[in-house]
Chains A and B, each alone.
Chain A
Amino acid sequence: MYFEKDVECMERAELEDLQLERLQATLNRVARNVPLYRQRFAEQGLDPDDFRSMDDLRKLPFTTKQDIRENYPYGLFAVPLRDVVRLQSSSGTTGKPIVVGYTRNDLKRWSRLVARVLAMGGMTRDDVVQIAFHYGLFTGGFGLHYGAETLGASVIPSSGGNARKQIMIMQDYRTTALCCTPSYALHLADTMEEMGVNPNSLHLKWGLFGAEAWSEAMREEIQNRLKVTATDNYGISEVMGPGIAGECLERQGLHVNEDHFLFEIVHPETGEPVPDGEVGELVITTLTKEAFPMIRFRTGDLTRVLPDVCPCGRRFRRIARIIGRSDDMLIIRGVNVFPLQVETVLLAMEGAEPHYQIVLEREGRLDKATVFLEVSENLLFDRMRVAREALEGIKRKLASELGVAMDVVFVGRKTLERTEGKIRRVVDRRQL
């Protein structure tokens, strides 16, 4: 089922002309309104007027998460703040998060693109959609909410947490479609078992899962245990949020909404485009965003282009499900976390020496992160109350800075394993 059939099945030649028009207008706007791009163009001797075909794309500079962080909070906005009607946020690499903005038109477009992705995944206006993503600064909750509303479905903003309540809602409100992270979906399946709820007694048909990587094996398990048809979707806050790409019911890759996003796959180190089909870093350029346009944003996500036209009839090209990260970013319970963020918090606390290790495990279905921190003997052996207060303080700080709770364990000096004098920052024991 298509949400915007004419566009989704547009001929490639027409699509490419449309992309050119939109990209040229975007380049004109950013050259005028965004100091960073004006500066970059000048530094590299680029005249946006010379941009006449897609081959010229590789001449344009990249934008990184670092650039956004350095222009915190509003430095990359292309419109005055009073034209921005929504602000959302995501983790920066260290310390401060990054801030993104949307004009009214941006919001409308966002909703339509998410609606497209939901429709691709089988949902219609007759569905009752439960959004079990946390509603707040992260783009997942609100993004999916407005998309589902635009689709015309009945939306339940159940937000994150409280698995038993989520299940009760599914039973009583007759939820037919579930949106959450795949690991949370399995957590709900486990909770149903505990509660003695038979998934066959529910009305679930569809599942749209994302915000973290998940395997085909996990998809099978989710489908079997929740009795849903599960599809993957891709989004990233810096570019817009959910709605950038999604699986159709063929489930052979994710269609990218190419009329609004131009994508490239580049070599993570050299930045050169890789041949079609090879794995590389996904780079996205926005074609229509007003408040926060992005030119060649390096997502850090690794994927590849899939060849051939999809049997579903959509002409938007597909990318493979995300294979991994090109940097050290972690995804813990759907939240982006950089080890450097953890380090920043630890450094700021008194009496803590910055020798630490983050261990990631799956406890049941949900991610569990533990920070092992080497501390001085004083803290380790001294009055327990002081140590406990310090520990709780660090836990609190981590939770509030990172947006996800982590356990903290104090260990003695030099007890963490070192290789060539360096501690392995992250130990990821999770099996996907």
Chain B
Amino acid sequence: MLRLRNVDLAYGRIQAVRRASLHVGKGEIVALIGANGAGKTTMLTAVSGLMRPASGSIEFDGRDITRAQPDAIVRAGVSHVPEGRLVFGPMTVEDNLLLGSFTRHRLGRRTDVRPELEQVYAMFPRLEERRLQAAGTLSGGEQQMVAIGRALMAKPKMLLLDEPGMGLAPTVTKEIFRYILKLRDALGLTVLLVEQNARAALRIADRGYVLETGRILLQGPAGELLANNDVQRAYLGRDLDREIQPEQGA
């Protein structure tokens, strides 16, 4: 569904991503893991059109979106859930969600977005309970649900999730990741997930790519990445010198 080929991304003269090639198949959850500053968020901004690649190509659903405008990309079916949630604090939960459907409306014609709203409330009942509350007063985990729900309102084919676990307590992170899995399983969404929390991401992902200072070093099925000792050392915080490694599943 999504394919990046030889993508170079730079901030002025600072090379953030070098010659990156990756793909996300329809219905897959693909994790992009790496340390702070590896270039993960940069990659997502390139996909959603907020940043233009210096070279290389990005293809979505068979179309070249390398130089497309962000709103065209959203209309094509890509929704970006940004790092840090970025919900509109003073607005109600419901207004935040409705804003997510912005690109679906046309001047002079009303688009009925109630079905999607119902769907979001069905997925996240807690949001329905708090629908008239100011989004800024919600907990971190609930704000993440608002951010995801807002993205879903655009009726996307693919979701770009930037660090959904960031700043959340472990149990809340687990809950959010369970929701992500549900989104793929129940709604058939394709997901590209960027995360520093490599373990949580790889646990729900089908495949992953490891980004280190702008370059993809490793790629493969999630299980393989979890079993890779470099990944374990660098991203999973295991102290291998003190452990005997058991078989990591069949």
Contacts and interface: CB of A to CB of B under 8 A. Distances in A.
State the 3 A-B residue pairs at the shortest beta-carbon distance, nearest first: A83-B229, A52-B6, A21-B21
Contact of A17 (B5, B219, B229): B5
Contacts of A430: none
Contacts, number: 55
Given A21-B216, A29-B217, 13 more contacts: A17-B23, A18-B23, A21-B23, A21-B219, A24-B19, A24-B21, A25-B219, A28-B216, A32-B217, A53-B6, A82-B240, A104-B245, A105-B228
Interface string B99-117: 0000000000000000000
Interface in B21-50: 21-23
Nearest to B215: A28
Contacts of B228: 103, 105, 290
A51 B218 CA distance: 16
Contact of A25 (B217, B227, B230): B217
B18 A49 contact: yes
Contacts of B216: 21, 24-25, 28
Interface residues of A, number: 25
Interface string A34-55: 0000000000000001111100
Interface string A122-139: 000000000000000000
A104 B21 contact: no
User: Main secondary structure on chain B at its contact with chain A?
Assistant: strand
A290 B220 CA distance: 11
B21 A105 contact: no
A108 to B, nearest CB: 7
Contacts of B248: 104
Contacts of B245: 104
A59 to B, nearest CB: 14
B75 interface: no
Contacts of B219: 21-22, 25
Contacts of A108: 224
B227 A105 contact: yes
Contacts of B217: 25, 28-29, 32
Given A25-B216, A25-B218, A104-B248, A20 B229 contact: no
B199 interface: no
Interface of A: 17-18, 20-22, 24-25, 28-29, 32, 49-53, 79-80, 82-83, 103-105, 108, 288, 290
5 contacts: A21-B23, A24-B19, A29-B217, A79-B229, A104-B227
Interface string B176-220: 000000000000000000000000000000000100000111111
Interface residues of B, number: 24
Contacts of A80: 229
Interface string B209-250: 100000111111000100111100000000010000101100
A79 B248 CA distance: 18
Contacts of A21: 21-23, 216, 219
Contacts of B220: 105, 288
Contacts of A20: 5, 21
A56 to B, nearest CB: 11
Contacts of A24: 19, 21, 216
A410 B23 CA distance: 65
A396 to B, nearest CB: 39
A170 B227 CA distance: 38
B130 interface: no
A290 B225 CA distance: 11
Nearest to A80: B229
Contacts of A105: 220, 224, 227-228
Nearest to A18: B23
A82 B233 CA distance: 12
A83 B245 CA distance: 10
B3 interface: yes
Contacts of A288: 220
B23 A103 contact: no
A8 B32 CA distance: 26
Contacts of A83: 229-230
A4 to B, nearest CB: 12
A78 B218 CA distance: 12
A24 B248 CA distance: 26
A80 B230 CA distance: 9
A24 B216 CA distance: 8
A103 B19 contact: no
A424 to B, nearest CB: 50
Nearest to B216: A25
Contacts of B19: 24, 49-52
Nearest to A20: B21
A23 B3 CA distance: 16
Contacts of A17: 3, 5, 21, 23
Contacts of A53: 6
A371 B229 CA distance: 47
Nearest to B214: A49
Nearest to A48: B19
Contacts of A290: 228
Nearest to B240: A82
Contacts of B5: 17, 20
A83 B229 CA distance: 6
A374 to B, nearest CB: 53
Given A17-B5, A52-B6, A103 B21 contact: no
B241 to A, nearest CB: 8
A25 B217 CA distance: 5
Nearest to B250: A108
A425 to B, nearest CB: 45
Contacts of B218: 25, 29
B23 to A, nearest CB: 6
Nearest to A150: B250
Nearest to B6: A52
A18 B21 CA distance: 9
Nearest to A23: B21
A53 B224 CA distance: 26
Contacts of B224: 105, 108
